[in-house]
Amino acid sequence: MSMKKVPLRKCVVTQEMRPKKELVRIVRSKEGEVSIDLTGKKSGRGAYVSKDKECILLAQQKNVLDHHLKAKVGASVYEELLALVDTE
């Protein structure tokens, strides 16, 4: 029986390759709206961040998502990310 290939993605904060399930995708739509993509299927420019509280806080501090998505990421998105990580 063959092993299933695990899709890997790179965290934009830590620059490490991790399985897609360990990351959260943040998307900027064509209208410039930034949101969290839990399905991984929303259209638009995406960036992956580890499901780790320190990683999210570091991304907010260094404006990593602003740079990658080429859009202003509001504090509400970071709050939503932190709440998502706390529930898991």
- Of 88, 84, 69, 86, which is closest to residue 26 (Cα–Cα)? 69
The DSSP bridge partners found for residue 35 are 27
At 13-48, the pLDDT tens digits run 999 999 999 999 999 999 999 999 999 899 999 999
pLDDT score of 4: 87
Residue 3 belongs to a domain: no
| Residues 49 and 59 sit within 8 Å (Cβ to Cβ) | yes
- Maximal C-alpha separation, the chain: 47
CA 86 to chain centre: 15
At 1, the pLDDT band (50, 70, 90 cuts) reads: low
Number of domains within the chain? 1
- 57-79 confidence digits (pLDDT tens): 999 999 999 999 999 999 999 99
Q: What is the CATH number of the domain that holds 37?
A: 3.30.1230.10
pLDDT at 86: 84
Residue 1 lies in a domain: no
